[in-house]
Amino acid sequence: MTTSTNRVAIVTGASRGIGAALARRLASDGLSVVVNYAGSADAAARLVDEIEKAGGRAISCQADVSDPLAVKRLFDSAEAAYGGVDVLVNNAGIMKLGPLAQFDDASFDQSIAINLKGTFNGLREAAKRLRDGGRIVNFSTSVVGLYQPTYGVYAATKAAVEALTHILAKELGSRGITVNAVAPGPVATELFLEGKDQAVLDRIRQMNPLGRLGEVDDIARVVSVLVGPDSGWINGQIIRANGGVI
Ligand code: NAP
């Protein structure tokens, strides 16, 4: 594997939330980072600026991960800027909730398009273009395991991501590329907080052995380890990073 200082990481969905923390952390670990976003161009540009001011290297790149051609262009941009790609973090995702009886087709299709097809688009490109010794980190959720009502479609897309993780690890092992997934529990981001009142949040905090919600840096630290030089023997695993809630 190349050293951290000349390794290149694409982080999808890095304009906000967990992805932004991942981009900051990988840049401070010494990787050159491609900050992907869908619509939040200003937030992505501000993050790149912040990383550069802290002495890191980053570019931003718009690409809707559900579009295979856009994901190809995302890899093209990374290669044009930095000469190759070593790490893909497939973080971009959405969470549409609702009982199955009322779940609408548009929300179902969008969940599949971004969470499952978006992850697949990144994995297919990474399988062809990552340098040997690379790292892939997918994003699942601890809802795969907790299986709460209303999370059915979201959990189904993430269970599919876990299946892809196990199988791609076997397909890419001969090139020294590891493929793992992180499955966070509740993390205080827009995706999780939207639509939840204080009473619901208090109940979720109390469910956790550590008595709090996850913070984005809790997850960034785990991804830093999976991407870093000491984790080469961790492969094909789903790491539930959730404070022990399941
Ligand atoms: P978030 O705060 O809503 O941020 C989502 C990010 O994904 C944004 O940067 C957004 O970009 C990007 N994105 C959305 N659709 C995209 C698309 N089609 N193409 C490219 N980028 C897209 O979400 P988060 O909480 O950080 O979640 C990140 C990941 O962790 C997701 O996969 C989620 O399922 C997983 N996760 C989160 C939690 C949690 O409690 N927060 C728990 C378990 C798992 P724009 O800003 O440009 O829209």
Q: What is the pLDDT of residues 31-75, one digit of tens each?
A: 999 999 999 999 999 999 999 999 999 999 999 999 999 999 999
| Cα 175 to middle of ligand 1, angstroms | 29
Q: Which residue has the tokens 């840096």?
A: 217
Q: Residue 245 falls within a domain, yes or no?
A: no
| Confidence bin at 193 (pLDDT 50/70/90) | very high
Q: What is the pLDDT of residues 149-185, one digit of tens each?
A: 999 999 999 999 999 999 999 999 999 999 999 999 9
Q: Residue 28 falls within a domain, yes or no?
A: yes
pLDDT of residue 244: 98
Q: Residue 89 falls within a domain, yes or no?
A: yes
Q: What is the CATH number of the domain that holds 190?
A: 3.40.50.720
Domain limits at 150?
A: 4-239
Length of the chain: 246
Q: What is the pLDDT of residues 54-66, one digit of tens each?
A: 999 999 999 999 9
Based on the structure, what is the number of domains in the chain? 1
Q: Residue 227 falls within a domain, yes or no?
A: yes
Find out whether the beta carbon of 122 lies less than 6 Å from any atom of ligand 1: no
Q: Which atom of ligand 1 is nearest to the CA of 18?
A: 26
pLDDT of residue 5: 63
Among 164, 189, 193, 201, name the best residue to mutate to test ligand 1's pocket (greatest count of ligand atoms within 8 A of Cβ). Answer: 189
Q: Which atom of ligand 1 is nearest to the CA of 41?
A: 47
Find out whether the beta carbon of 141 lies less than 6 Å from any atom of ligand 1: yes
Q: Which atom of ligand 1 is nearest to the CA of 16?
A: 9
* Residues with active-site annotation: 154
Which H, E and C letters describe the chain, residue by residue?
A: CCCHHHCEEEECCCCCHHHHHHHHHHHHCCCEEEEEECCCHHHHHHHHHHHHHCCCEEEEEECCCCCHHHHHHHHHHHHHHHCCEEEEEECCCCCCCCCHHHCCHHHHHHHHHHHHHHHHHHHHHHHHHEEEEEEEEEECCCHHHHCCCCCHHHHHHHHHHHHHHHHHHHHHHHHCCEEEEECCCCECCHHHHCCCCHHHHHHHHHHCCCCCCECHHHHHHHHHHHHCHHHCCCCCCEECCCCCCC
Q: Residue 244 falls within a domain, yes or no?
A: no
Q: Residue 72 falls within a domain, yes or no?
A: yes
| Confidence bin at 3 (pLDDT 50/70/90) | low
